[in-house]
Structure 1
Amino acid sequence: MNNFSVKSFYRFCINSSKALLLTLLLTACGGGSGEAPAGSKFNPNLSFETSYTVNEGESVIITFSLDKSTLHDVSFDFVTTTDTARDGEHFHTANGNITIAAGEKIATVTLQTIDNSIAQSLSRFSLHISNIKGANTSDKELTIKINDNEPELSFDNKHTVQEGSNVIINLTLSAPATHRVGVHYQANDGTAKVDLDYKATEGVIFFEPGETSLSVKLNTLLNFTTHDNLNFYFTVTEITGASTALTQSLILITDNEPEISFQNRFLIEEGSPAVITFTLPRSINHTVSLKYETYTNEEDDNHAKAGLDYQHISGVVNVITTYNDDGDIIYQTRIPVYTFYKKLVQSDRVFYFKIVELNGAAVDTNIVTITITDAVENTTYGFEKSHTLASYQAGIVSIKVTKSIATSNTFTVPFEISGTANAGADYTIIGNTETLIFESGQESTSIYINVIDNGLPRSGSTIHLNLLHAGDAELNDTPSHDIILMGDLALNDTGALTGDDAKYGRDSVQALKNDLNDGLAAFSFTKLDYQGNKLSDNNNSFSCVEDNVTGLVYENKQDSQIAYNARLSNDEISRLSKPLNQVTYQDIYNIFKQDVNGETKSDFTNITGRDWDGFSAQEKTQSAFKQTVILSEEEFKDLLKDSPREVGDTLKYTFNAPLQFQHTNWRSKSHSYYWFNTDNNVNGGRDGSKGEFTSSTAPISRLCAFPHNGMINYVSGLKGCNSANYLEVMNNLAVCGFSDWRLPKIEELRSIVNYDINSPEWDARFFPLTNTSGDYLSASPSVNNNATVWCVSGNTGEVKLCHKQFPNLIRAVRGNN
């Protein structure tokens, strides 16, 4: 202890004692490891979050923390446990031991969740810790919540649709899925019943990965009955790979029955019908029928009486397809209700028309009120005709006076008499000399004149009767009448007899009495058929007329035809000249399609009223699509009666190939031609005009037409609408059995004109289709003007000049050349 002082020794002893005491304390608290017992106030506190939330498929990191570092390790065991989440399905099981080394304060453990592609609500599992060494903690468990990341399915919860229409249910995912999503669905009854109001529907639809929108179509059915709104349901019965908060959509079916419209009140004069027109607003594919009857409500003070005021009717009718005045298709039916005219002054009377039962449509009201008023007519009166021819030997001459309506009271008409005949010497009036009386109920009466024959020769004279005004009645167009007394004086007999002088010849009194003539005045005609056979005078199907006086035969013209637009191409003319049953919707589309800015367009809609793009590919293959509705010639005339509007109206023509009518009725009274003759011996020094055609196979223009190459009477080589071509076809086809047809000379043409001032120019029985709006060409050129020929006015019969360069009418003749 040489270098070890007492003070140093003392320090050594003190320090050794402290070390020994610490060792003894540690040994007593935790043994030889140096850690304090669990729960010891010397241990650090272990802490962690007790709740975590994570999306499925993601990992979660659990952090364990000590509030202070230690000189010893801290360790504990951990293990995952299931709750609503299941191991292997929602998360991977984890267990083990965690050690926080001496001097460290943090340790972590990572847990992995599973993306299971199953729609589910929030699920959870737990992590438990145990066997904690070297630390204190009050929590032994934490919870992990897993959010479902599946997309959500949505759709509208209500749809409204008219019966017979489809309803589309649009299904939408909130986000694209990485997996396939399946939706099982079906339709279920509400007030609507399956197979009666809607079509049974059930199935499964799949969203492929990445898809977010799909649709399901449900079909409703037409039941042809009027009903309140019905409903059924679209139900999602099962879904995989997604979730949904909505499982059902309400489908509301509205009644699709069309509403019939009609006038429900009529105010009509007695004797007039109340025509009730029932109209549908659109086309339907079922029959609409209505049962009806008329009736009287006897409680009405002014009720009408069936059989006395109106004709009682009842029955059942269907609404039909018809056409209006513009040629448009409409859906309607008309029921006339007739009232009776009575010559009585009465107050208004009322009766009713009732729809007893209606099938296939709906109405706002089923009653029509019909009020009958007294007919207010202006009574007119006058002579039946304007003159009478009589001789002095005629005796009593009756002159008839008529009234437009009979009255229940007597009606007196004053009249006056004048003229060159002498009252008392040449005639006397039988009865009242100043007034004429219509008795009750009479619509006609007569003035009687007794012509006096004194046996002496007399010159002609007249008796002029003139009716005067009577009360509120009005005079008609014949207020006066002349009796022409033919005299007995004549020129000295020269010994020469005229052909027709009313005493001799075809217009003699005896000839007229024996009815030797078929036409007006002295004309006599015979009708011929297309083969040249003679027909009776009352036969209206004739092709030619023979003049029995001259022996000439004239053609009978055919019905008017509507001119087509001259801008049609050769191809269009050929197509439009097809027989009626060959033009199809496809033809119409193809003929009038054109390229517009690189896009094919067609005026199909302007022609048919249908939308080409509205037809499905399937519809375009159906036979119904390839055929058109065939209209009669008269229906076509009604359809096309308006003036053509360049290309627009010609498009309508394709609907039934109306040019076929032009070719068939090539002798139409409305067709016109240029005068054309190359024979310088007879053409007056100028040929005339050819009138070129666009197409020789379908010879037609805005002026005329001839049979086309699809017809058995086609004549090839025709170049235009001129008289030479017309006569060539007449002779080639041997119309009425003759092949010597020609233009008539001017004398021959006017020989069939009746120039009687009181008669029509053309006898309608034998020349019914005379065109009074134009002039008929003759073969006679003008001597003084080689550009003109003589012609006859179809309106007045006037002979005048017509220019060769202007189209005119033709009536061909044959014989006596």
Structure 2
Amino acid sequence: MQEPSSGSRINYVDVALSKALSSDLTLTINTKPISAQDSGQFKNYEPVTALSFIVKAGDTQAKLPLSVVNNNLYESGVTLAYTVSAPPSTEYVIKSDKSVITIENTDALPTIRFNAPNRTLLEGDTKSFALSLDHYSRYPVSVTLETSGTASTDDYSDTLDDSKIVTIPAEKLSLSFNVSAKKDTISEGAEGLRYTLKNPSDVNVVDKENTLDIYIPGDKRFNDTGFVTRYNGTEFGESNTQPEYPNQDADFGLDISPDMTHDDGRYGFSYSKFDIHGNLVPLTESKYHCVRDNTTGLYIENKPSDPVDLPLTRKAVEDEQKVQRDDPDNYVYPNEPDRNYVISSENWQHSTYLYTWYEKDSALNGGSEGAKNMTMPEEVPIDYTCAISQDSSGDRRCDTAAYLSQMNRFSICGFTDWRLPTPTEMKSLVSFNVDNNDNNNRAFLKFIHGKTYFTSATNAERNGSAWCVNTVSGQTKLCNKGSYNSVIAVSGGKE
């Protein structure tokens, strides 16, 4: 007989009489396990002890009951002894009082998987990781955990033996092992470690569910959001934790203390100021050329934001260039109250200037160079979206590559490796604080808010666009490389 797919089911053992009796026959039924189990979590049937069953007079057939149970256990067929007896009588003889009953298993071979396929493990921490079966097995099951990824054996250790074979004992559902990310003094970015289930024995492995990916962030960090107020069901201005609305952004991270107010930045942000040579200057200094984000190690240029003049149209630019070409010996770069282009060029890093995205290096441009802008004459270093220093040389254009070349040519703050930020780096500069009291952060990066900034990242499918970050919403979106957007240069960091 076969076990049911779930629960229990009454099955019957057939009994035959060679001839009908003239009176009722009372049989006594007993069961005894052979390889089957009649008790405990994995019992195969309900045991019977001295159960009376009446065969009616005149009957030659009877069906004796046996309740078979699904035990959620993978196993082969199991057996039990089913016996009958009756009072002594001259009317009958019981020639066969015992039958060996086989109960066939219907539970499939169990499947093994990791409890959680993706986990994060910080340097210096140890976590437990579990393998589980979807149902029990009467037999031990084993798999080999094959390791791969960018993490080396110097970066982590685990409690597995050298064979990497793990065995879940019979009638158990899970097994755990520990992984530790080693703490070191090396400044490094993220690493990945993957465990893959291989060589299954007495167990199934599903290809799409056979990996555990562990992300080890290393010592690279990014700023928190700066968001310190909470939603209370109606508004977003609550300063205290809301039990009815748990796990809000303001409950976690570097900015969890609303009273965390420092001279170097509020709500987990921390900055230092540097002059054009790269010397550290006091936080109260109003003239500085870059800041260092002390959380990420990233250096960010400081952009002037005082009012400047630019030509209003491309035609106005062309007219100015024509004036210079017509009389180069007497041409004077405008320095007038209503169009002070000298001031515009002196402030060539200005926060309002806009640029197209351009990168000629095929290893960096995602397959599309982008939009290379018009080159400005040395004598008229101005366009209608940006201006270049009168002391400039080389790339004099309103595009990202030209802007970075100027930053590196002048070695602002002593750096010659200025670049565009990654999307994550750009987002880390944004404070989402909504309590209208974020002036201390904005004193360091006061120019950054209210604009859309190009980043260094391109899109694999739409290589005519680059990723941008809106500093009002923090949204990352695609911007056509030929569109005009703000640019900020960064250096260093741990990425």
- Give the TM-score of the pair, scaled to structure 2: 0.45
The normalised TM-score by structure 1 is 0.28
Larger of the two Rg values belongs to structure: 1
Higher RCO by CA contacts (8 Å cutoff, separation 6 or greater): 2
